[in-house]
Structure formats: structure tokens, C-alpha cells
Chains A and B, each alone.
Chain A
Amino acid sequence: MRAGYGRGRCVLWNTDLKVDTGEAVLITGGVGSGKTTLLLAITGVLNNLLEGFVDGSVEINGFNPIEPSGFSKIPLEVGFVLQDPDKQIVMPTPIDELYFTLENMGYSYSDAFKLAMDGLKKTGLVSKAYQHVETLSQGEKRKLTFIASVIHNPRVLMLDEPTASMDPYGIATTREFIRESRREGLSIIIVEHKKDYFIDLVDRVFVMSEGRLYETEINGDFGKNALYEKFQRILDSKPRDEHKFGDVVLKMENVSIGYNETLVSGIDMVVREGMTIGVVGRNGCGKTTLLKTIAGFIKPIDGVINRFAKTFYVPQQPDYIFLSNSVSGELDLLRRKTGFKLEDSIIRIESLKKDFAKSPYKLSHGQRRLLSLVIALAYKPKIILLDEPTTGLDDESVNQLIESIVTLKNKGFSFIIATHDPRISPVIDEYIFIDDGKVRSVSHTDVFRWFIDVSMG
């Protein structure tokens, strides 16, 4: 099968895939390699909804979703989990979200009520059934999307990067969901670039590279121990440069943070020039609140924050930061506000140069992050606050990010990075862990042990 988004822009070449009933298959590969396109192609979404094309044949349980008549059978046979729960949930309350699919499929109200209630009980969401979905945590939303995808008992399940923005608890939930779906006998296709967390759950593994699909052998190395070793190797491979840290740029004494109620208390922190602090904890524990308090957007509830340098907060979603119609437009605005000149840019932006006329929203994810970093630096902050900068980045992009951060650190910039991703650990000097409203210092090994233990169960 070959497929693409427009004639002349073929994304997938000669891909052949065969999955037997009850089998689970993992498709992995770098960002942009075409994994999501593959799922969109085989469900018929690419050609029926997105005006793309698919050459070749696809067959799911005996019908062809490329044909419109076959495509109409997809909802019944296939359960689909999208990358971002916020993009998948369409109804204001959890119970209506579950009703939605069942109503579409023609279930009677009484049947639907029973199924929906069972699903909510299983995920512990019954008490929130009639509340707005935005009162749910990210983890709860994820559970809701899982239940919603299989509530009508499809035989096939497809997941597109289900752990994209998840903390280790979210990864554990995803693993549990896949295990259970296998027990129910579903055939499963998982697309995930975090392959290490799913290899032990599937029968076969494929790698997608530049639009082509290759099957690989599952060698014995997987599971918790393999992950421990992998992270240890990452740590050891990049000896942290022992340069001296400079003057103190930020000092926090016994600070409590929160919006109306205290979220975290007793925070003591000292940040020096050239230092990088990593803030770790589960989703919702207060990492973003901490960063925003340091940046000055939220007043601390208690305690003293002494800032001796300028801060700049880079949000998790780089799109929030753009103001202009094109990359060159952004640079122009920067020049006008801060006198920034392209030649002075400390980090390498060659990859952006060819896309100057493009709208910032049309850049790739990695490019958008890069641009947001350039924008941040133009304001000459000494302390840069990064909120989950590695979300959605594959290993190679993370390495590029690490490179930029190291360059900047050597020039005296300090970073405070909120993250639950252990891949960025080589660049972090000290970790603090937020747990249940309290903060404590932890070692690098502690962090990735926590991550692996929680996610792998």
C-alpha cells in the first residue's frame, strides 16, 4: 500500500502489514516517520475524510475501509484512541461522552445506561459522571477515552501515541488497558515511539522509517531491567560538565504556591548561573504552578522569592507564544521589541532558515519548540523556565534540545525544567520531586527508578 495527503506528496511507500486475530502489534519509529499516517490510511480516514489518497488494498475483518461502503463499517468494528484526550473527548460530561458512541451505534437508552455505568465504575469515574470533563485530571481523561473507545465492543483496537503527554501513572494505565483488551481477545495495533514500555505486551514489533515499514525481531532485552540499563547508559554517556556555577540568580525560602488553596508548601530553592533544576512529579502535582509562580504570574501564598535575574516562561504548547504570520515576522517583532538580531542567536537555527516564510503554526513540532526557545532568548532572561519541553519529541529531537541547553548553560543561563521525562536527565544538575504537596531533593537514579517502577508496575 502507498498513501499520502495529496497527489505528489506520498508519505507511505510499499507498506505491507498483516495482523492476525487476537494479535497485538507495536509500530514504532521517529516523529514524522509516518506512523500516524499509517493508522489514518488503514482506517480509511485518510482518503475518505482528509482528501488524501491510498493506493493498494486494506482489509479489516473482511471489509475494505478504503471504499466508502467499507468505511461506514469502521465505527462498529474498530475502536480508536487518539493521541490527545482533549482532542478526542467531544461531550461536556463523561457520561454523555460514553452515550455519544452508543447513541450513534443505535443502542437503546437502557442498554447504553448500563454499559456506560459499568464503564464508569471500572474507571472510578462514577462520582464525576455528570460533571464537566474539564474537572477531570489528565489521567482520568485518558481513562475515559480508553473506555469510550471500546464501549461498543469492537474487535479491533488502534491506539495512536496513547502516552504522548502522560506521566508514569498514565503509562501504567495505558499498559493495563492494553493487557485487559488482549484478555478480551481484541486485535491491537499500537503506534508509539516510546517502544520500551510496550514491547513486553505485544506479539510483533514493526519499525517505521521514512515511510517504509520493517518488521524487527524482539530480542530478549525488554522490561524493567532493560529500561534501568538504558537510562543508566544515558546518564553515563554524558558526563556532566563540572564547571563552576556562578552567582545566585534565584532564591526561594519556605515558599508555598497555589491558586486559591495551597498546592505545595515549604519550597526552598537556590539557583545559580549555569545551573539546571529539574522539577519532577505526577501530572497535576504543581510543576506548572511552580514555574508560573517563579515567573511572577502567580503570587506565592507564603514565603519569599528573591529574583536576581530576569525570567522567561516557555509554555508546554509552543503555539501560545507566537504572534505573527511567519517565522520572519516573529523575528521582526523580536527585533522591534528587544533589538534581537539573527546573527546574535546563541542556538543553532539552521533548520528554521529554510522555512522563514512559513507560518509558525505550520512548522513541525520540533521546529516550533526551537522557535519558542529563540523567542524566549531574545528577551535576554537569565533564568529560562521550560514546561515539559520534551512532550511529543522523539529521542533524536530530545538530543538536539539537550545540545542547545548545554550550549546555553555554558554561557551562564540557568534553567528550571518541569518534566516527567527521564530522557532529559543528562542536562539536569539537581532534581526536586513534588509529592503530595511537599518537595524533596532526589538523585537522578531516584527519578528514573520512580518513573520506571510506576509505569511498568
Chain B
Amino acid sequence: MQKYRAVDLALLGVASIISGLIFTATWFVYEVSLAIGGIYLSRLISYGLWFIGAPLTASLIRKPLSGFLGEFLGALVETLIPTIGGFTNLIYGFAQGLASEAAYAIFKYKKYGALQAALAGIFAAPPCVALDAILFREIYPYPVMLILLIAAATSGAIYGLVSYYAIKSIKGE
């Protein structure tokens, strides 16, 4: 396991704040897309933004656990800002963070590329949809649940790629 240097911690702080700010703004996006297009559109457009903490941080820092920490600390920031949702965000952040981290773990932490970023977004979808069902009783018939899951996962993949390519263009590799 590589050690986190001082720069990495500063970057972690930066990524947590950016993620936290994005998470906060996403509530607005969610409510608007829910009103316009119902449950499918809202998942497709906004859920990926809630998963963005992990791929963003992992693409930036490129060390083990950076994905999980990015998502979890971003959720902590979101809780403290504060936003609607309070401590529930922490629970979501924890679960989503772990799931996204798996996307990097299965590659033995050797790769932090576009594929991993997209997978991180996709992996965060199941725990999120599951928590929605448990916490907020957002339980629908199976076909509907499946579509919701796919919408959320697609959204996650898109924003995972967005964060990867944004960082790639800055770091210029």
C-alpha cells in the first residue's frame, strides 16, 4: 500500500470539497428532473453526480482507498454544509464509496484509467438504489427497479468518465 504524501492529503481535501459541492447542487438537479421527467429521468440525469466523488478522487490521487475516501468525505462535507438529507448522506456515501472502491480493487490498484472510472460510477448504483428502497420505500415492481438501476448505473458511468477526462486534460498525460 502506498503511503499518502502531504500533497495527496491536500488533494483529498480539494476533492472532498468539490464532491461535496457537486452533491449539494445535485439535489436541485434531482428535484427538477423528477418534476419534469419522473423517476427514470431523475435517476439518469442526477444519480451519476452523486457517485462522482469516487472516480474524481481516484483519478486525481491514484492510490488505494482514494475512491472510497473521496466519496465518503464528500458526503461528510455535504452533511456539514448542510444539505437536505443530513446524516442519510453519510450512509449513502459510505456504501457507495465502498462499492466504487471495488472497481479499483479488482484491478489490484494498478490502473486508474477511464474504464475504472466508469466502473466506479456503475458499481455505486446498486447500493444506492438498494438504500433508496430500504430507507425511502422506493420499491417498485421488478422491471421498473431494473430500469431504475440501469439508469442510475448509466448516469454513474457517464459522470465517472467526465471526471476522468477532466482530470486527464489538466494533468496532461
Which chain B residue shows the least CB distance to A359? B172
Whether, in the assembled complex, A169 has its beta carbon less than 8 Å from a beta carbon of chain B, the answer is no
A137 interface hit (Cβ, 8 Å): no
Which of B6, B10, B169, B170 gathers most chain A CB within 10 Å? B169
CB < 8 Å neighbour of A325 from B6, B7, B10, B169: B169
Name the CB-closest residue of B to A362: B172
At the interface, is chain B mostly helix, strand, loop or mixed? helix
B172 A49 Cβ-Cβ under 8 A: no
A325 CA / B6 CA spacing, docked (Å):
28
Kindly provide the distance from the CB of B133 to the nearest chain A CB, expressed in whole angstroms. 39
Report Cα–Cα, A361/B10, bound state, in Å: 19
Report how far A326 CA is from B172 CA in the complex, Å. 9
B169 touches A49 (CB 8 A): no
A230 at the binding interface (Cβ < 8 Å): no
What A residues does B6 contact at CB under 8 A? 49
User: Which residue of chain A has its CB nearest to the CB of B7?
Assistant: A49
- As a 0/1 sequence over residues 1 to 43 of chain B, the CB contacts with chain A under 8 angstroms (1 = contact) are 0000111001000000000000000000000000000000000
> When the two chains form their complex, are residues B7 and A359 in contact, meaning their CB atoms are under 8 A apart?
no
A49 to B7, CA, bound (A): 9
Per the bound structure, the CA–CA distance linking A326 and B165 in Å amounts to: 13
In this complex, what residue of A is CB-closest to B166?
A325
Q: How far is the CB of A62 from chain B (nearest CB, A)?
A: 25
Chain B: how many interface residues by the 8 Å CB criterion?
7
Min distance, Cβ A97 to any Cβ of chain B, angstroms: 15
Return the CB mask of B160-172 against A: 1 if under 8 Å, else 0: 0000000001101
Q: How far is the CB of A91 from the nearest CB of chain B, in Å?
A: 11
Q: Is the CB of A361 within 8 A of B7?
A: no
CB distance from A82 to the nearest CB of B (A): 13
Contact pattern, B 63-86, Cβ under 8 Å of A = 1, otherwise 0: 000000000000000000000000
Question: Across the interface, which residues of B come within 8 angstroms of A341, CB to CB?
Answer: none
Q: CB distance A361 to B170 under 8 Å?
A: yes
Which residues of B have CB within 8 Å of A90?
A: 10
Least Cβ distance of B22 to chain A in Å? 18
Q: Quick check: A49 and B170 within 8 Å, CB to CB?
A: no
Measured CB to CB, the closest approach of chain A to B164, in angstroms, equals: 13
Query: Chain B 133-173 against A: per-residue CB contact (8 Å), 1 yes, 0 no?
Result: 00000000000000000000000000000000000011010
The residues of A that contact B7 with a CB separation of less than 8 Å are 49
Set of chain B residues within 8 Å of A49, measured between Cβ atoms: 5-7
The distance from the CB of B31 to the nearest CB of chain A, in whole angstroms, is 28
| B172 x A358 contact (CB < 8 A) | yes
Which residue from chain A places its CB closest to the CB of B169 in the assembled complex? A325
In the bound assembly, the distance between CA atoms of A415 and B41 in angstroms comes to: 48
* CA–CA, A359 and B10, complex, Å: 23
**B170 touching A359, Cβ below 8 Å:** yes
Residues of A356-374 whose CB lies within 8 A of B: 358-359, 361-362
Q: In chain A, what residue has the closest Cβ to B13?
A: A90
B10 cross-chain contacts in A, Cβ below 8 A: 90
Q: How far is the CA of A358 from the CA of B172 in the complex (A)?
A: 8
Write out the residue numbers on chain A whose beta carbons fall within 8 Å of the beta carbon of B170. 359, 361
The distance in angstroms between the C-alpha atoms of A362 and B169, with both chains bound, is: 10
Chain B residues with CB under 8 A of A325:
169
Known A359-B170, A359-B172, A361-B172; 10 more pairs at CB < 8 Å? A49-B5, A49-B6, A49-B7, A90-B10, A325-B169, A326-B169, A358-B172, A359-B169, A361-B170, A362-B172
B residues with CB within 8 A of A: 5-7, 10, 169-170, 172
Top 4 A-B residue pairs of the complex, sorted by shortest distance between their CB atoms: A325-B169, A359-B172, A362-B172, A359-B169
Using CB atoms and an 8 Å cutoff, list the residues of chain A in contact with chain B.
Answer: 49, 90, 325-326, 358-359, 361-362
Listed A/B pairs (13) with beta-carbon separation below 8 Å = A49-B5, A49-B6, A49-B7, A90-B10, A325-B169, A326-B169, A358-B172, A359-B169, A359-B170, A359-B172, A361-B170, A361-B172, A362-B172
